[in-house]
Structure 1
Amino acid sequence: MNNLDAVFLDIENFFQTFLPAWENYLISSGVKQRNKPSLLSVSKVMTIVIAFHQSRYGDFKTYYIHFVYRYSQRIS
């Protein structure tokens, strides 16, 4: 298992306990809000952001195009 897999597993374990507790803590405003499901989980987004900060890329757009986008194209 590489370092990125370990980071993802740690983040996934954290969010499995954090998100339900956080949602119970929120106060409802009474206004109906959309809860549209995302293509990426919160854990995946956080892993991408952490990997960006550990990389040597100067900006997120370049990192996304050269690393995340190319990697996601090979998977699908």
Structure 2
Amino acid sequence: MLERLTEVFCEVDDFCQAFEAQWQSYLLESGAAPRGPKSGLSVSEIITLLLVLHSGGFKYLKNLGYRQ
């Protein structure tokens, strides 16, 4: 999976862009301003990290950065 990381990210990013555009059209406006700080990672980056974590057999997310 790590060999195909860029390819997986591109596929996930394409999906997220198409999905979010459609999803935003179904949401209702609440009138309240968004709270809290903005996320440092995009939704597609988070999904890609989770896919790599679960498919790679890593027990903890911090172990993803270490190669053995």
Identity across matched positions, percent: 30
User: C-alpha offsets along residues 8-57 of structure 1, whole Å, 9 cap, x if unaligned?
Assistant: 00001111111122112111233333374211010100000000110112
After TM superposition, the score normalised by the length of structure 1 is: 0.68
Unaligned runs of 5+ in 2: none
Taking structure 1 as reference, are residues 55 and 9 closer, same or farther at Cα in structure 2, changes over 3 Å only? same
- The one of the two structures with greater contact order (alpha-carbon pairs below 8 A, sep at least 6) is 2
> The residue matched to 1:19 in structure 2 has which SS?
helix
- Structure 1 residue 3, shift from structure 2 partner: 1.2
Structure with bigger helix share is 1
Contact 2:53 2:64 in 1 (8 A): no
- Given residue 31 of structure 2, which amino acid in structure 1 is its aligned partner? G
1:30 partner amino acid = G
- 1:65 paired with 2:66, answer no
Superposition TM-score, scaled by structure 2 size = 0.74
| Separation in 1, partners of 2:21, 2:47 | 17
Q: Which runs of 5+ in 1 are unaligned?
A: 71-76
AA partner of residue 40 (structure 1): L
The alignment covers a number of residue pairs equal to 65
The CA RMSD measured in Å over matched residues stands at 2.2
